[in-house]
C-alpha cells in the first residue's frame, strides 16, 4: 500500500518554516499563472469561464493532497479542449460531468491495479501525433474570437470550421484583431524583461485596460457570457442514465488515458528538476479523485500541468503545500475578483491560447520522426495526427493504439525464425558443440527457433518438418524468451504428427517462461520429461541413444 500513500504524508516529516514560506510564495505565483489559462481553456472547451477556476481549485487540491508527486500542479490543460468541446456540443454539461467522473473512477482503478508503469507503453509516435493534432485544432478554434468574426454557431469539425471562417471573413473586427495582436506581442516580449510575472497576465491587464478606457467595440467575457458568478461552486450530480453512461465510457477512457499520460510525464519532468522520484500509482489515484470531485463541483477534466508544475519548481515549491496554496489563492480570486474578469476581451483569451497551442506542438520532433523513423512508426504518427484534426481525439487514440499494436506484432513476428540447424565454425553456447554436430546421423534433424513465439509468429513453427528417414527431431529453444497459447497449439500439432510417425521430439534449452507455459498446458507430460534437455550436446547425445535402439 506504500505505493498508494500520498506524497504529502511523506514530505511533511522534517518540514521547515523556511520551506513553508517558499511553498506559499510559489503557490501564489503559480495561481497567478493559472488564472488566465484556466479561464481561457474553459471558454475554449465550450463551458463557462468560472468552470476553469472550479477545476483548478477543486481538482488541483485533490491532485496535490492525494497525488504521488511533491510538486505537481493540477488543473485544466489544452490537451482536453478538443474532447471536452465535442462532449459539450453533443451531450451538454450533464454528459461532460458524467464523462469526467467516469474518467476519475477509471484513473483510480488504474492506480489501484498498479497500472502506473503501463502508461510508458503508449508509443511516442502516438503522443506526438495527437499532441500536434490537438495544437492545430486548438489553434483553429481561436480564430473566431481572435479576429472578432460574427458567426452565430461555429461547427465543431475542423474542415467545416475553416470553411465557416473563410465564408465569414468579411465580418472580422479590426479593433478585435489589433487587440489580439497586441496581446501576442506582449506575451512574446515580456519574458525577455522578466519571468517573475507571466506574460499572459500582463497581456490581459494591458489589453483589458485599453479596451475599457478606450471603449473599443470588442467582445468581452461579460458581453458574451453575462455576469460571472463569484460564489464557490456547490456539489451537483446530474440525472444519470445507463444510456448516458454507455455513451460516455469511450470519451471517459480517452480522458483517463490523456490525464494519466500528461500527469506522469509532468511528474517525470519535475523529478529531474528536484532530484526526487514520484509514485506513479498514487499519482493516478490523486488524478482520479481530482477528476471525480471536479465533475461533482461543476468543473472539467484535469491533469498535471507541465508548465505550471515547472513554474512551481522554479519558484521554490518543493512540497504539495505549494499546490494547495495555489488552490487557496485561486479561491480568494474567485470570491473577490471574479466580476472583474468580465472585462477581459475575448480576443485576448484567444491570443493566450494561440500562444499555448504554438508552444505545445513539438513540430521539430514531428518532422524529425517523419524523416528518420521506420515507415510503420511514420504511419502511426501521421494517422494519429490526421484523425485528431479531422475526426476527434477518441478515434485518434483508439485507432492509433490498435495500429501501433498491429505493426509492433508484425515487427515482432518478423523477428521469429525457425530454421534447420547447420554447423557453425565458432559455436557460442556449449563446449564441445562443434564436435557433436560434425557427425550427426541424418536420421536426427535439428531445428533452432529464435525470437518470441506468439500468435502472429505461430505459423513459423510449420517450417518444422521431417523426412522419411527421420527418427528424432531436436528443437533448440535457447533464443525463445516467451511463448503463447497459439504457438503452444502449433507445437502440439507438430508433436501429434511426429508421434503418428514414431518420431521422437526432444527439446533443448527451454527458457523459464516457455517451460512454465508448457507445464500448465500439460505438454511436458505429453512429450515426456526425459525429452527435455538442458543443452544441445546433451540433447544430441540422448537423440543418438534413441537412434541406436
Query: Is 443 found in the same domain as 399?
Result: no
Which of 347, 374, 405 delimits the end of a domain? 405
Residue with cell 527451454: 510
Query: Is 314 found in the same domain as 386?
Result: yes
Position 2 in a domain: no
Query: Residue 117: is it exposed, middle or buried by C-beta count within 10 angstroms (0-12/13-18/19+)?
Result: exposed
Categorize the per-residue pLDDT at 186 as very low, low, confident or very high, splitting at 50, 70 and 90. Answer: very high
DSSP H or E segment with residue 408: helix 393-415
Number of residues assigned to the chain? 549
Query: Is 40 found in the same domain as 171?
Result: yes
Query: Is 381 found in the same domain as 476?
Result: no
Query: Is 440 found in the same domain as 397?
Result: no
Position 440 in a domain: yes
Strands 532-533 and 504-508: parallel
Query: Is 502 found in the same domain as 400?
Result: no
Query: Is 279 found in the same domain as 387?
Result: yes
Cross-strand partners of 472: 444, 504
Q: What is the pLDDT of residues 527-539, one digit of tens each?
A: 999 999 998 888 9
Helix locations, 155-241, DSSP H: 158-167, 174-193, 199-214, 221-225
| Rounded Cα gap, residues 209 and 488, in angstroms | 73
Position 104 in a domain: yes
Query: Residue 25: is it exposed, middle or buried by C-beta count within 10 angstroms (0-12/13-18/19+)?
Result: middle
| Rounded Cα gap, residues 470 and 462, in angstroms | 16
101 with 292: CB under 8 angstroms? yes
| Rounded Cα gap, residues 292 and 379, in angstroms | 36
Residues ≥6 apart with Cβ < 8 Å to 19 = 318, 319
- Segment 22-44 shows an average pLDDT of 91
Instruction: Give the CA distances from residue 28 to residues 51, 159, 315, 518, in Å, rounded to whole numbers and listed in that order.
Output: 20, 41, 10, 61
pLDDT at site 424:
44
User: What number of other Cβ atoms are within 10 A of residue 272's Cβ?
Assistant: 9
Query: Is 441 found in the same domain as 355?
Result: no
Position 238 in a domain: yes
pLDDT at site 415:
75
Q: How far apart are the first and last CA of the chain?
A: 60
| Rounded Cα gap, residues 505 and 516, in angstroms | 18
**DSSP designation for 534:** S
| Rounded Cα gap, residues 128 and 81, in angstroms | 17
Radius of gyration, CA atoms only, the chain: 30
Which structural domain, as residue segments, surrounds residue 201? 16-218+231-405
* Lowest-pLDDT range of 308-317, 339-348, 431-440: 431-440
Categorize the per-residue pLDDT at 294 as very low, low, confident or very high, splitting at 50, 70 and 90. Answer: very high
Domain count, the chain: 2
**DSSP designation for 66:** H
Position 223 in a domain: no
Query: Is 476 found in the same domain as 381?
Result: no
3-state SS assignment for residue 142: coil
The answer, yes or no, to whether residue 351 has pLDDT greater than 60, is yes
Position 410 in a domain: no
pLDDT at site 338:
87
User: What number of other Cβ atoms are within 10 A of residue 333's Cβ?
Assistant: 21
352 with 203: CB under 8 angstroms? yes
| Rounded Cα gap, residues 74 and 299, in angstroms | 13
Q: What is the pLDDT of residues 71-100, one digit of tens each?
A: 999 999 988 988 899 899 889 999 999 999
- Segment 475-502 shows an average pLDDT of 90
Q: For the chain, give the mean pLDDT.
A: 88
Prediction pTM value: 0.76
Q: Kindly provide the residue ranges of all beta strands, DSSP E only, lying in 244-401, ordered along the sequence.
A: 303-304
Position 365 in a domain: yes
Query: Is 448 found in the same domain as 396?
Result: no
Residues ≥6 apart with Cβ < 8 Å to 496 = none
Position 10 in a domain: no
CATH number at residue 447: 3.30.750.24
User: What number of other Cβ atoms are within 10 A of residue 530's Cβ?
Assistant: 9
Which of 384, 405, 426 delimits the end of a domain? 405
Residue with cell 479561464: 39
| Rounded Cα gap, residues 81 and 76, in angstroms | 9
Which of 405, 437, 470 delimits the end of a domain? 405
Residues ≥6 apart with Cβ < 8 Å to 23 = 316, 317, 318, 319, 321, 322, 325
Cross-strand partners of 508: 476, 533
Instruction: Give the CA distances from residue 36 to residues 200, 517, 535, in Å, rounded to whole numbers and listed in that order.
Output: 7, 57, 68
Cross-strand partners of 444: 472
Instruction: Give the CA distances from residue 427 to residues 7, 34, 87, 420, in Å, rounded to whole numbers and listed in that order.
Output: 53, 64, 62, 15
Query: Is 447 found in the same domain as 349?
Result: no
301 with 80: CB under 8 angstroms? yes
Query: Is 184 found in the same domain as 43?
Result: yes
Phi, psi for residue 349 in degrees, rounded to 5: -65, -40
Cross-strand partners of 304: 74
* Lowest-pLDDT range of 140-149, 294-303, 439-448, 510-519: 439-448
- Segment 435-462 shows an average pLDDT of 76
Closest to 11 measured CA to CA, from 324, 325, 266, 318: 318
Amino acid at each position: 500500500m506504500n505505493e498508494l500513500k500520498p506524497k504529502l504524508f511523506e514530505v511533511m516529516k522534517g518540514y521547515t518554516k523556511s520551506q513553508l514560506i517558499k511553498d506559499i510564495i510559489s503557490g501564489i505565483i503559480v495561481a497567478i499563472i493559472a488564472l488566465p489559462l484556466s479561464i481561457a481553456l474553459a471558454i475554449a472547451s465550450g463551458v463557462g469561464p468560472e468552470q476553469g477556476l472550479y477545476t483548478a481549485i477543486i481538482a488541483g487540491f485533490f491532485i496535490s493532497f492525494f497525488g504521488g508527486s511533491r510538486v505537481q500542479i493540477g488543473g485544466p490543460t489544452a490537451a482536453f479542449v478538443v474532447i471536452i468541446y465535442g462532449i459539450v456540443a453533443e451531450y451538454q454539461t450533464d454528459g461532460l460531468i458524467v464523462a469526467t467522473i467516469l474518467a476519475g473512477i477509471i484513473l483510480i482503478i488504474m492506480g489501484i491495479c498498479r497500472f502506473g508503469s503501463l502508461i510508458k507503453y503508449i508509443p511516442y509516435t502516438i503522443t506526438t501525433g495527437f499532441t500536434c493534432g490537438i495544437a492545430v485544432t486548438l489553434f483553429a478554434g481561436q480564430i473566431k474570437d481572435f479576429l472578432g468574426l460574427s458567426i452565430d454557431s461555429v461547427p465543431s469539425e475542423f474542415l467545416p470550421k475553416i470553411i465557416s471562417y473563410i465564408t465569414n471573413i468579411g465580418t472580422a473586427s479590426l479593433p478585435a484583431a489589433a487587440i489580439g495582436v497586441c496581446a501576442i506581442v506582449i506575451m512574446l516580449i515580456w519574458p525577455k524583461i522578466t519571468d517573475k510575472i507571466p506574460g499572459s497576465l500582463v497581456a490581459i491587464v494591458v489589453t483589458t485596460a485599453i479596451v475599457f478606457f478606450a471603449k473599443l467595440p470588442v467582445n468581452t467575457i461579460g458581453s458574451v457570457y453575462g455576469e460571472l458568478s463569484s460564489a464557490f461552486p456547490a456539489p451537483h450530480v446530474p440525472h444519470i442514465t445507463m444510456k448516458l453512461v454507455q455513451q460516455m465510457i469511450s470519451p471517459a477512457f480517452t480522458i483517463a488515458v490523456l490525464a494519466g499520460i500528461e500527469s506522469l510525464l509532468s511528474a517525470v519532468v519535475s523529478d529531474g528538476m528536484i532530484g526526487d522520484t514520484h509514485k506513479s500509482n498514487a499519482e493516478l489515484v490523486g488524478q482520479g479523485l481530482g477528476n471525480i470531485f471536479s465533475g461533482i463541483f461543476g468543473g472539467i477534466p484535469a491533469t498535471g500541468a507541465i508548465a505550471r508544475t515547472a513554474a512551481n519548481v522554479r519558484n521554490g515549491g518543493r512540497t504539495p503545500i505549494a499546490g494547495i496554496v495555489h488552490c487557496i489563492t485561486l479561491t480568494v480570486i474567485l470570491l473577490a475578483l471574479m466580476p472583474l474578469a468580465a472585462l477581459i476581451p475575448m480576443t485576448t483569451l484567444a491570443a493566450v491560447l494561440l500562444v499555448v497551442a504554438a508552444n505545445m506542438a513539438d513540430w521539430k520532433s514531428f518532422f524529425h520522426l517523419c524523416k528518420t523513423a521506420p515507415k510503420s512508426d511514420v504511419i502511426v504518427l501521421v494517422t494519429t495526427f490526421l484523425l485528431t484534426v479531422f475526426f476527434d481525439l477518441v478515434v485518434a487514440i483508439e485507432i492509433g493504439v490498435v495500429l501501433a499494436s498491429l505493426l509492433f506484432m508484425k515487427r515482432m513476428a518478423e523477428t521469429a525464425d525457425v530454421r534447420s540447424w547447420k554447423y557453425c565454425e565458432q559455436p557460442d553456447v556449449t563446449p564441445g558443440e562443434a564436435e557433436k554436430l560434425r557427425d550427426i546421423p541424418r536420421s536426427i534433424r535439428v531445428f533452432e527457433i529464435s525470437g518470441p513465439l506468439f500468435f502472429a509468429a505461430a505459423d513459423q513453427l510449420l517450417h518444422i518438418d521431417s523426412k522419411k528417414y527421420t527418427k528424432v527431431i531436436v528443437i533448440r529453444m535457447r533464443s525463445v524468451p516467451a511463448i503463447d497459447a497459439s504457438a503452444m497449439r502449433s507445437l502440439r500439432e507438430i508433436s501429434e504428427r511426429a508421434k503418428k510417425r514414431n518420431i521422437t521430439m526432444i527439446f533443448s534449452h527451454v527458457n523459464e517462461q516457455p517451460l512454465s507455459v508448457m507445464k500448465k498446458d500439460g505438454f511436458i507430460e505429453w512429450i515426456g520429461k526425459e525429452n527435455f534437455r538442458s543443452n544441445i550436446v546433451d540433447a544430441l547425445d540422448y537423440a543418438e541413444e534413441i537412434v541406436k535402439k
